[in-house]
Amino acid sequence: MQPAVHWKRKRRKTIDTISEVTGQDVDPGALKQFMDELPNKATQLGIKVVIAVIVILVSLQIIRFLTKVMRKSMERTKADESSIHFICSFVKIVLEILLAFGVAAAFGMDTASIVALLGSAGVAIGLAVQGSLSNLAGGIMILLLKPFRLADYIIEDCKGHEGTVKEISLFNTKLITPDNKIIVLPNGTLANTSLTNATGNDTRMVEIKVAAAYDTDIRIARKVLHKAMEECKWTLADQERVVYVDELGDNGITLGVRCWVKAEHFLETKWELNEKIKNAFDEAHISIPFPQLDVHMKQENQID
């Protein structure tokens, strides 16, 4: 059988099959024209796909380069690291969205229709991801108001989470706890609840209260506590050191000490002062009273 005859029969069979499936007559001329143009169209589509892939890869590299340039420029202006990270992430996402629209337009898609479709679906999407949008808005508020920055130690008052700020992203903030665990907090929660920034200032006050027996000479105890603060290497000599009588309690006198340290040395100072005060009290023979309870027993006479 000649190839031309075989091809005609195959084409006739294809036309019959399409007619049976669609229920409509198929013009053999139109089908022949489509089949003749198919290789060229497939080739053009393949070229467009290859060009689009190349454009996407190159554009992603350009976006990465631009974000690096932006980061270095902001670092030279000594901008806050959290602001730098937030702005660079936001710009990167915007540029990637614009790239996606550009590629869609290159393939002949109507970008105006896409925008209209996205706008129509925006309400439904907004309701579905309102939590994420709240976190995004919270991230913007944190960036503008700066209640904390990277490397600050914060305590979230709602759930009691606390740690050193490691990263402030678009939707959440990561904390590192003292035992090296990572806590991820939504920005919406942080922006709408109270929190304590323990390292927001350069210095912090350390306050320790200790009990002494009632037979203690307060003047001697005051000297002992002052000496303990002076011997602690973390306390600031140019700041006031105070010893005071806080309370006359049931079991003894409560004395308090206050001194100032660098914020990053707060815990070390507290631990060292506790140890020094205990050792100093032992050397000065000042006793720390235990809770006491006097029990009086009344004996009744028994009558036989």
Question: Strand, coil or helix: what is 156?
Answer: strand
Q: How confident is the model at residue 57 (pLDDT cuts 50, 70, 90)?
A: confident
What's the pLDDT tens digit per position in 150-184?
888 888 888 888 898 888 887 888 999 988 999 99
pLDDT, residue 102, reads 76
Considering the chain, what is the average pLDDT of its residues? Answer: 79
Q: What is the mean pLDDT of residues 90-117?
A: 72
User: At residue 3, does pLDDT exceed 60?
Assistant: no
Distance of CA 40 to the CA centre of its chain: 52
What does the pLDDT read at residue 52?
77
Greater confidence (148 vs 86) lies with 148
| C-beta of residue 169 within 8 angstroms of C-beta of residue 230 | no
At residue 272, the pLDDT reads: 93
Separation of alpha carbons 127 and 139, rounded Å: 19
Q: Give mean pLDDT, residues 213-222.
A: 91
Is 90 exceeded by the pLDDT of residue 132? no
d(CA 60, CA 69): 14
Once rounded to an integer, what is the mean pLDDT over residues 109-127? 59
Q: Tens of pLDDT along 259-280?
A: 999 988 998 999 999 999 999 9
Report yes or no: 209 and 258 within 8 Å, Cβ to Cβ: no
Instruction: Reply yes or no on whether the pLDDT at 78 is more than 80.
Output: no
Convert the pLDDT of each residue in 4-13 to its tens digit: 555 556 666 6
What integer pLDDT is reported at residue 122 of this predicted model? 58
**Do the beta carbons of residue 209 and residue 234 sit within 8 Å?**
no
What confidence score (pLDDT) does residue 275 get? 93
Could you tell me the CA-to-CA distances from 251 to 47, 213, 223 in Å, in that order?
90, 7, 22
Query: What is the rounded distance in angstroms from the CA atom of residue 101 to the CA atom of residue 271?
Result: 59
The pLDDT score that the predictor gives to residue 259 is: 94
pLDDT tier, 48 (very low <50, low <70, confident <90, very high otherwise): confident
Q: Taking the CA atoms of 80, 203, 264 and 182 in sequence, report the sign of the dihedral they define.
A: negative
pLDDT value for 97: 79
Tokens of 89: 């992430």
pTM, two decimal places: 0.54
User: Could you tell me the pLDDT band of residue 245, with boundaries at 50, 70 and 90?
Assistant: very high
Which has more pLDDT, 70 or 221?
A: 221
Q: Identify residue 214 by its one-letter amino acid code.
A: Y
Measure the CA angle with vertex 122, ends 116 and 127; round to 5°: 165
Q: Select, from the ranges 15-29, 66-80, 126-140, 279-293, the one with the highest average predicted confidence (pLDDT).
A: 279-293
